Amino acid sequence: MLIKTIPYAMAATAGFIVAYVIFGQPKTEPQNPLPERIPTITKPETASDSTAFDRPIQVPSPSNLEQSQSELEQLRRLVDTQASKINSLEAALEQYATKESAESDSPPKGLETISMDDFENRMKGSFRNRFKGVAIELKPEQIKEFNRMFDANSQKSEWGVEYENRITNFIANSDPNGLHFIEEVNCINHMCRLKVQSSEAADWQNLYSNMTNENWFNSMTLVEKSDIPGMHIYYIPKPQEM
C-alpha cells in the first residue's frame, strides 16, 4: 500500500511547487521550508470511498493573482514598445546603409572643361539670381551721380524702349485696382529709372518683387530712399542680353 501512495505524493508535491513559482508565495506566516513528512494519500478503493490529501495545497489568493496578471500585462506592453523602437532603428539603419552604399558605388566626377563664353554666362545667371527680389540701397553720392547722368542724356535706345514697355505693362496688369501710379519710367544708355507713387507700400513691394522674378527681368535693382511719402525710386541697370 505504501508503494502505491508514492506517485500520488510526488504529484501533490510537484503541483505545489508549480503553483508557488507561477503565483508567488502567499502572504502567510513563515513556515518551515519542507513539511515534516510527505503527505500520504490513500488511493480510493471505489468511487464512493475516496479520501483527501492530509494537507491541501495552498492556492494564491485572488488579490495576488490579479497583481501578477497586472505586472505581466505591464511587462508585455513594455516589450511591445521596445520592439517598435528597435524596428524603427533597424529601418533607419538600413536606409542609411543603402544611401552610403549608393554614394560609395558612384564613380568620381571628372574634371569638366567649359569655354570662356559658357563661364561668363554661368556667372551672369548665378549673379542675377542672387538679387531677384532684392533692392540695393544707394548712397547719397551715388544718387547724385545717377541724377546727373539722366539730366545730361535723354537719348533713347532700342533696348530701352522695349524694357520700358515690359515694365509698364507688367505693373498695369498686376495692379487692377489702380493702387500704384507710374510717374516716370526712363531707360537711357545703360540704366533705367523708375518712379512710382503708391498708397499701399506692402502691395507695391510684393508687385515689384514678383516683377524681378520674371524671365525677362535679368538685372539688379538699385533703390533711392525718398523723403516723399509713398514715393518709390529705382535704378535698373541694362540687362546683359539686351
Q: Do residues 157 and 188 lie in contact, with contact meaning Cβ atoms separated by under 8 Å?
A: yes
pLDDT of residue 223: 94
pLDDT of residue 59: 53
Q: Give the pLDDT confidence of 155-195 residue by residue, as tens digits.
A: 778 889 999 999 999 999 999 999 999 999 999 988 999 99
Q: Give the pLDDT confidence of 74-98 residue by residue, as tens digits.
A: 777 777 777 777 777 777 777 777 7
Give the CATH fold of the 133-237 domain.
Threonyl-tRNA Synthetase; Chain A, domain 2 (3.30.980)
Which cell numbers hold the place of 53?
A: 490529501
pLDDT of residue 94: 78
Cell numbers 540687362 correspond to 239
pLDDT of residue 153: 83
Query: Tens-digit pLDDT profile for the chain (242 aa)?
Result: 434 434 444 444 444 444 443 444 444 444 444 444 545 444 444 444 445 445 555 555 656 666 667 777 777 777 777 777 777 777 777 777 777 666 666 666 677 777 877 777 767 666 667 777 888 999 999 999 999 999 888 777 888 999 999 999 999 999 999 999 999 999 998 899 999 999 999 999 999 999 999 988 888 899 999 999 999 999 999 886 66
Going from the C-alpha of 6 to that of each of 16, 19, 38, 49, 56, the distances in angstroms are 16, 20, 9, 19, 16
Please give, one letter per residue, the 3-state secondary structure of 197-234.
Answer: EECCHHHHHHHHHHHHCCCCCCCCCEEECCCCCCEEEE
Q: What ranges do the domains of the chain cover? A: 2-66, 133-237
pLDDT of residue 224: 95
Strand partners, 235: 193, 222
pLDDT of residue 220: 87
